[in-house]
Amino acid sequence: MSKDGAPYVIEDAWVRLAATTPARIALGRAGTGMPTREVLRFALAHAQARDAVHTPFQAEEVARDVAALGFETIRLASAAPARDAYLRRPDLGRRLSDDSRAALRERAAQDGAPPDLAIVVADGLSSTAIHAQTVPFFTEFKARIAENGWSTGPVAIVEQARVALGDEVGEVLRARACLVLIGERPGLSSPDSLGLYLTFAPKVGRSDAERNCISNVRGEGLSHPHAAFKLAWLLKEALARQITGVTLKDESDLLLVAGQPPAARIAGA
């Protein structure tokens, strides 16, 4: 609605600042309330985020895309049989189904030496995030893996999974560390945000304080090259110092300040 058409709306003089942030600033007001246009814009965003939670995970497509980038893959499922059970019973989403556990063990027995890094791609609370971010992230991270000579296990594509499920996958694969890519709980402005969780010496029962997290990975948030750079820094430190979690502080930005922006490094890689 135009300013002329809404004489009861008080517009904010600093509306140009809205370009600096995705946050909903300088909305104006009608009395103490939000203007009609903002109330309805918000309602629409909430409706879309609600829908994102319940969009089915295209696991087969994701597995195909990851394989096309040159990774081995394996499709697994958590013990949560469906979305409703997943939402009410997080414990089920933290462990593999019996069938999946057996399949992963068989795979681990076939493979040779344990990998440096186990990788899990989990739908979490936003399959939309996995659909959008998996390929661009792996494209960047693949270069980091090559650069550092890390070995990886089969990338596990897991349905109805939570972060801690990576502990079991990492343990079965006897990996030195485990990376979980997971769809974060969708926000109004970001139904497609990816979270990265890194755990050294993964095994069932690890606590969240023993992980490092990089969140908001998406086009409009933390860029894929930057996320891959940070993750590689953390993984290098984790393997060298044999820790992850609150005792491992992310100081990768010091390298950025020192004149090694990830874009430049990647261009050179």
Partner 1 sequence: MPYRHVVGPRAYVFADLKDLMAKATPLRSGDMLAGIAAASAEENVAARMCLAEVPLTAFLSEALVPYETDEVTRLILDTHDLPAFRPISHMTVGDFRDFLLSATATSEALAALAPAITPEMAAAVSKIMRNQDLIAVAKKCRVVTKFRNTIGLPGTMAVRLQPNHPTDEVAGVTASILDGLLYGCGDAVIGINPASDSVPVLSELLKLIDGIIQRFDIPTQACVLTHVTTSTEVINRGVPVDLVFQSVAGTEGANASFGISLATLKEGHEAALSLKRGTLGDNVMYFETGQGSALSAGAHHGVDQQTLEARAYAVCRPFKPLLVNTVVGFIGPEYLYDGKQIIRAGLEDHFCGKLMGVPLGCDVCYTNHAEADQDDMDTLMTLLGAAGVTYIMGIPGSDDVMLNYQSTSFHDQLYLREVLGLKRAPEFEAWLQTMGITGPDGRLKPQGGGNALLTVAKGLDAGLAA
**Residue ranges in contact with partner 1 by CB under 8 A:** 10, 12-14, 16-27, 29, 31-34, 38, 42-43, 45-46, 49-50, 52-53, 87-91, 125, 184-190, 193, 207-209, 212, 215-216, 220-222, 245-247, 249-254, 257
Q: How far is the CB of 110 from partner 1 (least distance, A)?
A: 33
**CA quadruple 94, 98, 104, 106: dihedral, nearest 10:** 160
Nearer to partner 1 by Cβ, of 6 and 27: the residue is 27
Nearer to partner 1 by Cβ, of 154 and 191: the residue is 191
Nearest to 94 by CA among 170, 154, 152, 153: 170
Nearer to partner 1 by Cβ, of 133 and 252: the residue is 252
Q: How far is the CB of 199 from partner 1 (least distance, A)?
A: 13
Angle subtended at Cα 10 by Cα 5 and Cα 16, rounded to the nearest 5 degrees: 95
Adjacent-strand bridge partners of 78: 96
Q: How far is the CB of 166 from partner 1 (least distance, A)?
A: 16
Nearer to partner 1 by Cβ, of 19 and 113: the residue is 19
**Count of CA atoms in the C-beta half-sphere (13 A) of 218:** 22
Nearer to partner 1 by Cβ, of 1 and 109: the residue is 1
DSSP assignments along the chain, one per residue = --TTT-TT-B--TTGGGGGG-SS-----BBTTBPPHHHHHHHHHHHHHHHHHHTSPP-HHHHHHHHHHTT--EEEEEBS--SHHHHHH-HHHHTSB-HHHHHHHHHHHHHS-SPPSEEEEEE-TT-HHHHHHHHHHHHHHHHHHHHHHT--B-PEEEEES--TTHHHHHHHHHT-SEEEEEEEPPPPSS-TT-EEEEEEES--TT--GGGEEEEEEESTTSB-HHHHHHHHHHHHHHHHHHT--STTS---HHHHHHTT--HHHHHHH-
Q: How far is the CB of 243 from partner 1 (least distance, A)?
A: 12
Q: How far is the CB of 84 from partner 1 (least distance, A)?
A: 10
Q: How far is the CB of 161 from partner 1 (least distance, A)?
A: 15
Nearer to partner 1 by Cβ, of 57 and 71: the residue is 57
Nearer to partner 1 by Cβ, of 13 and 113: the residue is 13
Nearer to partner 1 by Cβ, of 246 and 269: the residue is 246
Q: How far is the CB of 141 from partner 1 (least distance, A)?
A: 18
Q: How far is the CB of 219 from partner 1 (least distance, A)?
A: 11
